[in-house]
């Protein structure tokens, strides 16, 4: 038991040094609670055109199918909150998470470093790193690891500093000391449900992904349905509404990751700059950005959709 506690402490210490705000550990086992919920959500087609969500159903629920002999899931939170804002309030709005460099690369680099450290300091460990990639139910694991509770907007909320975090995991064939889940602190609050522009939070703790602005502006590859006209509150890529109104996010603190810092050129783009954005400018300005996900044509589709609100 001594070496298990020592190994756990080492990993958490290194995670903190690498810039992760929180690190928790849970036992790699089948997610009994999540299985029926996921099955129902998929059967009701609340994943829309995100067909990848229905792939690898068993793997999503059992990390031992992803890493042979897996014993522990290390869950980590990396802060991306910023108080910087786009200067032109009338310009198409971009979600905070996409202000800087793509988090997949930034956080994955940190995870690789953490995995290398584990192999150097503890011994050869079989493990895999996941950053919002692969069939992993990241919020479920973060909750089990005591990093927070899943709020009514289906985001993981930390009592000390809110929900503006990227979640990631290391699945390891290493015995570690497991943390305990925390309690739910949403109470009677319905701020996120009341504020959602498209009523995507269909009931507390349940989001219909196919109604979410993030889905329409990022995931959907075809035309945005006409009935959504005038409901996007100027969001052209993602949406922060349910997080911005969450009372727990008053505790959010500015991140310390330089790679997430937005360029002044981006922040100062006017409404007209966005309307006139060329493919060349898009590639230059967003070459390392999550906005590459929509490609130029997808972003232009979103901007044009906002232009004709009625």
> Distance between terminal CA atoms of the chain?
64
CA–CA dist 126, 8 (Å, integer): 16
- Point out the catalytic residue in the list 109, 132, 261, 273: 132
CA–CA dist 94, 151 (Å, integer): 23
CA–CA dist 199, 202 (Å, integer): 6
CA–CA dist 97, 166 (Å, integer): 8
Q: Which two tokens stand for residue 309?
A: 């609100």
Alpha-helical (H) ranges within the chain are 2-17, 34-43, 57-61, 103-121, 138-144, 191-195, 213-214, 241-244, 264-267, 271-275, 279-285, 295-307
Catalytic residue flag (residue 132): yes
Active site residues: 132
């Amino acid at each position: 038991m001594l070496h298990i506690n020592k190994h756990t402490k080492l990993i958490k210490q290194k995670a903190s040094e690498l810039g992760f705000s929180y690190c928790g550990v849970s036992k790699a086992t089948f997610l009994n609670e999540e299985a029926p919920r996921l099955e129902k959500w998929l059967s009701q087609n609340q994943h829309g055109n995100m067909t990848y969500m229905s792939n690898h159903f068993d793997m999503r629920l059992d990390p031992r199918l992803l890493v042979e002999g897996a014993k522990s899931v290390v869950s980590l939170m990396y802060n991306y909150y910023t108080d910087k804002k786009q200067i032109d309030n009338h310009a198409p709005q971009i979600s905070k998470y996409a202000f800087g460099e793509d988090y997949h690369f930034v956080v994955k680099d940190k995870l690789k470093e953490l995995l290398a450290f584990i192999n150097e300091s503890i011994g050869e460990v079989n493990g895999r790193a996941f950053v919002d990639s692969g069939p992993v139910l990241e919020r479920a694991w973060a909750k089990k690891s005591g990093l927070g509770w899943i709020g009514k907007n289906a985001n993981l909320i930390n009592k000390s500093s809110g929900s503006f975090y990227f979640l990631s995991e290391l699945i390891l064939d290493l015995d570690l000391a497991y943390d305990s889940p925390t309690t739910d602190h949403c109470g009677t609050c319905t701020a996120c449900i009341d504020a959602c522009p498209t009523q995507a939070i269909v009931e507390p703790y349940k989001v219909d992904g196919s109604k979410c602005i993030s889905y329409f502006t990022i995931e959907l590859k075809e035309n945005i349905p006409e009935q959504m006209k005038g409901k996007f509150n100027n969001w052209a890529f993602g949406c922060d509404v349910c997080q911005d109104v969450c009372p727990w996010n008053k505790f959010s603190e500015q991140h310390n990751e330089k790679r997430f810092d937005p360029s002044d050129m981006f922040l100062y783009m006017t409404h007209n700059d966005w309307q006139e954005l060329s493919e060349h400018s898009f590639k230059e300005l967003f070459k390392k950005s999550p906005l590459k996900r929509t490609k130029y044509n997808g972003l232009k589709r979103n901007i044009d959709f906002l232009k004709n609100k009625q």
